[in-house]
Amino acid sequence: MAIARSIIFGAFCEIGVYQPNETLTATDAQIGLGRLQMLLDAWAAEQGTLAVFNPQTYTIPAGEFEFTIGAGGDLNTQRPVYVDGMNYVNPGSSPAVEVPMAPMSKEQYMALSIKELSSGLPQEYFYNPTTPLGTFTIWPVPDQDIDLVVYASLAVAQPATLNATVVGPPGYAEAIHYQLALRLCNPMGRPIPANLPQMASSAFLRMQRPNADPGLLGVDAALVPMSGGAFNVLTGNFTGSSN
């Protein structure tokens, strides 16, 4: 998309702090970087702004039932706030066969009487969004090495420095520009331009639109006639298809 310094300077220009031919001061640059980091951190907590669906594979050793996720963790990637799902790979399958695991709520995990019960394959997982690393717990505890596939939607990464590149899908550049400009008005003592809130809101909604997943429409199997006929609950008999 662009380097952080350029994004910050553009946002300052939007609210009239700078003209395009001027130079960003070191103090203002740090203020802008802090607000940009806060903006992207806030977006990471909203499912509608998560940008990338990024499956990650982790091999959990036999006898282990916990692993961490995040920068420097067992699974060294971005720490997710939300987890879409987890599968285990059926050992020895070729091509690989993934088997979905059931998520546990904290109440369900608390209710487990034998948390270290051993078995050949795990069936459920619990995600605890601890910080700075998230923690996964799987159950039962596998007695063999198992490949786990974690499915999670991740946010646009925060830039650590002014020279870091901010990368996001289409629509994010405009949303970051106007949203950052809006957030810089107060610390810079600038009045909010009349059209800025509307432009920031429109860009934010446009950015979110591709992330919306309405899901697939499901139909109860009992309502779908079978090729050989359907069961009539009123008569207790099978009847021909209504088609």
pLDDT score of 226 more than 60? no
**CA triple 100-101-105, angle to 5 deg:** 140
Quickly state the pLDDT bin for 182 (edges 50, 70, 90).
very high
pLDDT score of 132 more than 70? yes
Quickly state the pLDDT bin for 243 (edges 50, 70, 90).
very low
Q: What is the pLDDT of residue 1?
A: 76
Alpha helices in the chain (DSSP H): 4-14, 26-44, 106-110, 172-184, 196-208
pLDDT (tens digit per residue) in 195-207: 999 999 999 999 9
Confidence (pTM) = 0.77
Residue type, 99: V
Out of 101-110, 162-171, 216-225, least confident range: 216-225
Among positive and negative, which fits the CA dihedral 200, 164, 15, 181?
A: positive
In the chain, the percentage of residues whose pLDDT exceeds 90 is 81
What span, in angstroms and rounded, lies between the C-alpha atoms of 222 and 89? 31
Q: What is the pLDDT of residue 181?
A: 98
Q: What is the pLDDT of residue 102?
A: 97
* Closest to 186 (Cα-Cα) out of 11, 21, 4: 11
* Closest to 104 (Cα-Cα) out of 85, 132, 81, 121: 85
Contact call for residues 137 and 108 (beta carbons, < 8 A)? no
pLDDT mean over 44-52: 89
Q: What is the mean pLDDT of the chain?
A: 91
35 CB neighbour count, 10 Å cutoff: 21
What span, in angstroms and rounded, lies between the C-alpha atoms of 25 and 19? 13
